[in-house]
Amino acid sequence: MTDLEKKVLEQIEKRGLVPRPYAYFLARRSVFWTLAVVSVVLGAISVAVIIYGALDYLVADRISADEIPFDDVFENLPFVWLAILVLFMVSALFGVHKTKRAYRYRVSGVVAGVVLISAILGASLQYFDVGRHVHQYLNAHVAAYERLVRSKEDRWSAPETGRLGGRVLAVGTARTLTLRDFRGKEWTVDFAAAKVTLSEPLLDEGIVAIRGVKTGPSAFRATAIEEWD
């Protein structure tokens, strides 16, 4: 036995090293692959919410495809989800590179693959309205969330620019209604000349989106009343 071999054996005995079973390495790889897959799925959810945010802005303002104001759309994107998307992309990259034979993959190739898969899966999720459901759930149950995104409620709390949204509290006989907006303020809305496109009566509809003109501190004249969703 050579001196090197003796030293190696001495170190093994001194440190109490023992061979690890194959199940350990299999479990370790499984953990990192799970991390990668979960990160891609969560990244896809982020993409779905980003798509929802952009489409919701365009639909709310009735903007056609040939006149999209990209600067305004960019301003109204939920940037918190862009940051979350980047975080999950990094997490997925870390997971992949900790798996067996990861050295064969170029970083740029892995990043491109993760982004592509997340984008395709995110678009598919948004087809089933996942982005809207995630956004609305967080907006209703996470107090900090509404401060991180410019929500649909924010855009419909702008009576000075002709948009007023909220819950209908009462309907008068002279085609007026009382509405509580998303900030808790009550408005008297004249909808005598408004085009009403609702599937339910005003009181049953609950939350509505109203277009029109502000005529006083708490008065609004409607030109159109639409379903909130």
Kindly state whether residues 27 and 137 are assigned to the same domain.
yes
- Residue 5 resides in a domain: no
CA dist 26 and 203 (Å) reads: 60
Closest by Cα among 178, 180, 201 to 190: 178
Q: Which residue has the higher pLDDT, 205 or 104?
A: 205
Q: How long is the chain?
A: 229
Considering 148, 181, 209, which residue would you say is the last residue of a domain? 148
Are 142 and 189 in a shared domain? no
Average pLDDT over every residue of 1-10: 68
Mean pLDDT of the chain: 79
Question: Does residue 169 lie within any of the structural domains?
Answer: yes
Please give the model's pTM, rounded to 2 decimal places: 0.59
Which structural domain range is residue 184 located in?
Answer: 156-227
- 55 assigned to some structural domain: yes
Q: Judge if 169 and 104 occupy the same domain.
A: no
What confidence score (pLDDT) does residue 137 get? 83
What number is the average pLDDT over the span 78-85?
Answer: 72
The domain total for the chain is: 2
DSSP E strands in the chain: the ranges are 157-158, 163-171, 176-181, 186-190, 195-197, 207-216, 219-227
Name the nearest CA neighbour of 211 among 229, 200, 196, 198.
Answer: 196
Percent of the chain with pLDDT over 90: 23
In angstroms, rounded to a whole number, what is the distance separating the alpha carbons of residues 106 and 93?
Answer: 11
Residue 97 included in any domain: yes
Q: Judge if 143 and 174 occupy the same domain.
A: no
Residue-wise pLDDT for 88-134, tens only, equals 888 887 777 777 666 567 777 777 888 898 889 999 998 898 988 88
Would residue 118 count as lying in a domain? yes
170 & 130 share domain: no
Question: pLDDT band at 225, cuts 50/70/90?
Answer: very high
Domain's final residue, options 94, 128, 148: 148
Residues 163 and 133 in one domain: no
What is the per-residue pLDDT for 1?
60
| Whether residue 144 sits in one domain with residue 37 | yes
